[in-house]
Structure 1
Amino acid sequence: MNPKPNSIEEYFSWFSPEIREKLQSIRDTLKKAVPEATEVISYHMPAIKTSEVLVYYAAQKNHIGYYPTNEPIIEFKKELAGYVTSKGVIQIPYDQELPLKLISDIAIFRREQALIKLENKKKKS
């Protein structure tokens, strides 16, 4: 397991300027999509959180990994047709432009899922 960064800035500092720029673009996109979310480091990766972690993202050897859990991958299957996906992860190759609108749409979808889950929890208590 890689060392755990103390901050998102520290995590970004581990990578080349080109990769840092991509990570920062994702960060900026997520802040605009879900402005109420808190940034955290979880599982050694940058993530955004409301009542739960919504999405993680990380620089990998040949791609950016975007980790929104499995349901958005099913929900956005058509939009993700050009990407390698598996349970809970979308691989965005470094040589491709970042799909920032899709990244934003998935984060918003996850926020809605978290809100529904929170409301259901409140109803049960």
Structure 2
Amino acid sequence: MGSVDDALAALPGPARDALQRVIDIARASAPDAVDGVSYGMPALKVHGKPLIGVTASAKHLSVFPFSSAVVAAVASRLDGFSVSKGTIRFSADHPIPDEVLAEIVRLRLAEIT
């Protein structure tokens, strides 16, 4: 797989745009992050460790912070979203709020560094 942008470019418009927004917020919050792949999904990495990954499935979009502690830390701010130990599911019509995405990246970055 190529860069995160290449992986997202292959998706249909609404899914691509929603996941690109996640990546854009992550890149703004962690400018040293580099493109990569983790667990088979497009991901941004810092110091070789996965920072945040994204995927699209037939029924939802997902953000993977690669940390159950990070998901738990923001779970109270995710009413109306499907949240599990390691992922947050959303749709293009119901995106994760920008400030929550930035907090996810900040918390995960703190774990890595």
TM-score bracket for this pair, using the shorter chain length: 0.7 to 0.9
* Residue pair 1:47, 1:54 contacting (<8 A) in 2 also: yes
CA distance in 2, matches of 1:35, 1:43: 22
How high is the TM-score relative to the length of structure 2?
A: 0.87
Q: Secondary structure at the match of 2:110?
A: helix
CA distance in 1, matches of 2:95, 2:64: 18
Unaligned runs of 5+ in 1: 116-125
1:17 Cα deviation after fit: 1.6
How high is the TM-score relative to the length of structure 1?
A: 0.79
1:97 Cα deviation after fit: 3.1
CA distance in 1, matches of 2:45, 2:17: 22
CA distance in 2, matches of 1:22, 1:101: 15
Residue 76 of structure 2 corresponds to residue 99 of structure 1:
no
* Residue pair 1:54, 1:111 contacting (<8 A) in 2 also: yes
1:1-41, Cα deviation, whole Å (9 max, x unpaired): xxxx2332331232112211112111111110111111212
Partner of 1:62: 59
Provide the aligned C-alpha RMSD in A. 1.5
Counterpart residue type for residue 54 of structure 2: Y
* Residue pair 1:49, 1:55 contacting (<8 A) in 2 also: yes
Partner of 1:53: 50
1:84-124, Cα deviation, whole Å (9 max, x unpaired): 11110000123213422211110110001111xxxxxxxxx
Counterpart residue type for residue 90 of structure 1: I
Residue 37 of structure 2 corresponds to residue 11 of structure 1:
no
Greater C-alpha radius of gyration: 1
Between the two proteins, the alignment pairs up a number of residues equal to: 111
Residue 31 of structure 2 corresponds to residue 31 of structure 1:
no
Partner of 1:118: none
Unaligned runs of 5+ in 2: none
Of stretches 55-64 and 28-37 in structure 1, the one that deviates more from structure 2 is 55-64
